[in-house]
Structure 1
Amino acid sequence: MPVPFEALLPYAIMTVMFGVTGVSLAGIRTFKNDGLRQRHNVDAWDQQSTSTSLMERDRRLTGTLRGQSDAAYAPPGFELSSEWKIEKRYV
Protein backbone atom coordinates (compact mmCIF):
# COMPACT_ATOMS: atom_id res chain seq x y z
CA MET A 1 0.00 0.00 0.00
CA PRO A 2 1.55 3.32 -1.00
CA VAL A 3 2.08 6.10 1.50
CA PRO A 4 0.17 9.29 0.66
CA PHE A 5 2.44 12.26 -0.04
CA GLU A 6 0.58 14.35 2.55
CA ALA A 7 2.12 12.18 5.26
CA LEU A 8 5.65 13.00 4.04
CA LEU A 9 5.18 16.78 3.72
CA PRO A 10 6.08 17.56 7.36
CA TYR A 11 9.33 15.60 7.03
CA ALA A 12 10.19 17.37 3.79
CA ILE A 13 9.47 20.77 5.34
CA MET A 14 11.60 19.96 8.40
CA THR A 15 14.50 18.76 6.22
CA VAL A 16 14.36 21.89 4.05
CA MET A 17 14.22 24.19 7.08
CA PHE A 18 17.22 22.46 8.70
CA GLY A 19 19.13 22.94 5.43
CA VAL A 20 18.14 26.60 5.15
CA THR A 21 19.15 27.24 8.76
CA GLY A 22 22.54 25.56 8.31
CA VAL A 23 23.36 27.43 5.12
CA SER A 24 22.21 30.73 6.65
CA LEU A 25 24.35 30.30 9.77
CA ALA A 26 27.39 29.37 7.68
CA GLY A 27 26.83 32.43 5.50
CA ILE A 28 26.50 34.76 8.49
CA ARG A 29 29.68 33.40 10.07
CA THR A 30 31.56 33.75 6.78
CA PHE A 31 30.30 37.31 6.30
CA LYS A 32 31.30 38.18 9.87
CA ASN A 33 34.86 36.91 9.25
CA ASP A 34 35.49 38.91 6.05
CA GLY A 35 34.69 36.04 3.70
CA LEU A 36 36.95 33.55 5.47
CA ARG A 37 36.01 30.50 7.48
CA GLN A 38 35.63 30.77 11.23
CA ARG A 39 38.79 30.36 13.33
CA HIS A 40 38.97 27.35 15.64
CA ASN A 41 41.41 26.65 18.47
CA VAL A 42 42.62 30.23 18.76
CA ASP A 43 45.13 30.16 21.58
CA ALA A 44 45.79 32.78 24.24
CA TRP A 45 48.59 34.40 22.21
CA ASP A 46 46.16 35.25 19.41
CA GLN A 47 43.34 36.36 21.73
CA GLN A 48 45.17 38.55 24.21
CA SER A 49 44.15 42.18 24.19
CA THR A 50 47.59 43.72 24.63
CA SER A 51 49.36 45.47 21.78
CA THR A 52 51.61 42.47 21.15
CA SER A 53 48.86 40.14 20.00
CA LEU A 54 48.79 39.13 16.38
CA MET A 55 45.07 39.68 15.85
CA GLU A 56 45.24 43.17 17.34
CA ARG A 57 48.22 43.99 15.14
CA ASP A 58 46.30 42.80 12.09
CA ARG A 59 43.33 44.95 13.10
CA ARG A 60 45.52 48.03 13.40
CA LEU A 61 47.28 47.33 10.09
CA THR A 62 44.28 46.43 7.93
CA GLY A 63 41.21 47.55 9.89
CA THR A 64 39.83 44.03 10.41
CA LEU A 65 40.77 41.20 12.77
CA ARG A 66 41.07 38.70 9.93
CA GLY A 67 42.93 40.94 7.49
CA GLN A 68 46.62 40.35 6.95
CA SER A 69 49.26 42.39 5.18
CA ASP A 70 52.50 41.25 3.61
CA ALA A 71 53.88 44.74 3.08
CA ALA A 72 57.51 45.14 4.10
CA TYR A 73 56.86 48.54 5.67
CA ALA A 74 53.96 49.69 7.83
CA PRO A 75 51.55 52.20 6.29
CA PRO A 76 51.94 55.89 7.14
CA GLY A 77 50.55 56.73 10.56
CA PHE A 78 50.93 53.19 11.89
CA GLU A 79 53.74 54.27 14.19
CA LEU A 80 51.24 56.49 16.01
CA SER A 81 48.52 53.88 16.39
CA SER A 82 50.19 51.92 19.15
CA GLU A 83 48.07 51.02 22.13
CA TRP A 84 50.87 51.47 24.63
CA LYS A 85 49.93 53.93 27.30
CA ILE A 86 52.18 56.95 27.53
CA GLU A 87 53.53 57.24 31.02
CA LYS A 88 55.33 60.10 32.62
CA ARG A 89 59.02 59.63 33.26
CA TYR A 90 60.21 59.72 36.82
CA VAL A 91 62.91 62.29 37.23
Structure 2
Amino acid sequence: MPVPWEALIPFGLLTTMFGAAGTLLNISKRAQNQGKPPRYHIDPWDEMLMERDKRLTGHIRGQTSNPVAPEDFAINSVWYTERTR
Protein backbone atom coordinates (compact mmCIF):
# COMPACT_ATOMS: atom_id res chain seq x y z
CA MET A 1 0.00 0.00 0.00
CA PRO A 2 1.59 3.28 -1.06
CA VAL A 3 1.99 6.16 1.39
CA PRO A 4 0.41 9.43 0.24
CA TRP A 5 3.41 11.70 0.75
CA GLU A 6 1.35 14.74 -0.15
CA ALA A 7 -0.66 14.33 3.06
CA LEU A 8 2.42 14.47 5.32
CA ILE A 9 3.06 18.19 4.71
CA PRO A 10 -0.38 19.38 5.93
CA PHE A 11 -0.24 16.85 8.77
CA GLY A 12 3.14 18.23 9.86
CA LEU A 13 1.90 21.80 9.64
CA LEU A 14 -1.22 21.07 11.70
CA THR A 15 0.77 19.17 14.32
CA THR A 16 3.30 22.01 14.58
CA MET A 17 0.63 24.70 14.84
CA PHE A 18 -1.35 22.86 17.54
CA GLY A 19 1.88 22.25 19.46
CA ALA A 20 2.92 25.91 19.15
CA ALA A 21 -0.53 27.16 20.21
CA GLY A 22 -0.59 24.88 23.26
CA THR A 23 2.93 25.85 24.27
CA LEU A 24 2.22 29.59 23.92
CA LEU A 25 -1.00 29.24 25.93
CA ASN A 26 0.89 27.41 28.69
CA ILE A 27 3.63 30.06 28.74
CA SER A 28 1.02 32.84 28.86
CA LYS A 29 -0.88 31.26 31.76
CA ARG A 30 2.32 30.66 33.74
CA ALA A 31 3.51 34.23 33.10
CA GLN A 32 0.25 35.54 34.55
CA ASN A 33 0.70 33.34 37.64
CA GLN A 34 4.33 34.23 38.43
CA GLY A 35 5.66 30.98 36.95
CA LYS A 36 3.26 28.73 38.87
CA PRO A 37 0.69 26.45 37.22
CA PRO A 38 -2.87 27.83 37.00
CA ARG A 39 -5.37 27.04 39.75
CA TYR A 40 -8.45 24.93 39.08
CA HIS A 41 -11.56 24.19 41.19
CA ILE A 42 -11.23 27.30 43.36
CA ASP A 43 -13.63 27.29 46.31
CA PRO A 44 -14.60 30.25 48.56
CA TRP A 45 -11.78 29.46 50.99
CA ASP A 46 -9.21 29.67 48.21
CA GLU A 47 -10.75 32.93 46.99
CA MET A 48 -10.50 34.39 50.48
CA LEU A 49 -6.84 33.39 50.77
CA MET A 50 -6.09 34.75 47.31
CA GLU A 51 -7.65 38.08 48.32
CA ARG A 52 -5.53 38.09 51.48
CA ASP A 53 -2.39 37.34 49.47
CA LYS A 54 -3.25 40.18 47.09
CA ARG A 55 -3.63 42.57 50.00
CA LEU A 56 -0.32 41.42 51.51
CA THR A 57 1.88 41.22 48.42
CA GLY A 58 0.00 42.95 45.58
CA HIS A 59 -0.55 39.78 43.50
CA ILE A 60 -3.00 36.91 44.02
CA ARG A 61 -0.21 34.34 43.63
CA GLY A 62 2.28 36.16 45.84
CA GLN A 63 3.12 34.78 49.26
CA THR A 64 5.27 36.16 52.02
CA SER A 65 7.06 34.61 54.98
CA ASN A 66 7.19 37.89 56.90
CA PRO A 67 5.28 37.35 60.19
CA VAL A 68 4.42 41.05 60.43
CA ALA A 69 1.90 42.44 57.97
CA PRO A 70 2.73 45.73 56.22
CA GLU A 71 1.10 48.90 57.58
CA ASP A 72 -1.18 49.17 54.51
CA PHE A 73 -2.79 45.84 55.42
CA ALA A 74 -4.69 47.50 58.28
CA ILE A 75 -6.49 50.01 56.04
CA ASN A 76 -7.06 48.09 52.77
CA SER A 77 -9.89 45.99 54.13
CA VAL A 78 -11.80 43.42 52.13
CA TRP A 79 -15.08 44.87 53.41
CA TYR A 80 -16.54 46.93 50.63
CA THR A 81 -18.25 50.23 51.30
CA GLU A 82 -21.34 49.61 49.18
CA ARG A 83 -23.67 46.68 49.30
CA THR A 84 -24.41 44.82 46.05
CA ARG A 85 -28.00 43.78 45.43
Which has more helix, going by share of residues? 2
**Total equivalences in the alignment:** 81
Alignment RMSD: 1.9
Distance in 2, Cα, partners of 1:68 & 1:84: 21
- C-alpha deviation, 1:44, in angstroms: 1.9
Structure 1 gap segments, 5+ residues each? 48-52, 87-91
Deviation digits for residues 12-66 of structure 1 (CA, Å, limit 9, x no counterpart): 001101100110111111111121100122112222xxxxx21111001000001
Q: How does 1:1-91 map to 2 (within 5 A)?
A: 3=3, 5-47=5-47, 53-84=48-79
TM normalised by structure 1 equals 0.76
Distance in 1, Cα, partners of 2:8 & 2:49: 52
Larger C-alpha radius of gyration, 1 or 2? 1
Structure 2 gap segments, 5+ residues each? none
- C-alpha deviation, 1:83, in angstroms: 2.9
Identity among equivalent positions (%) equals: 46
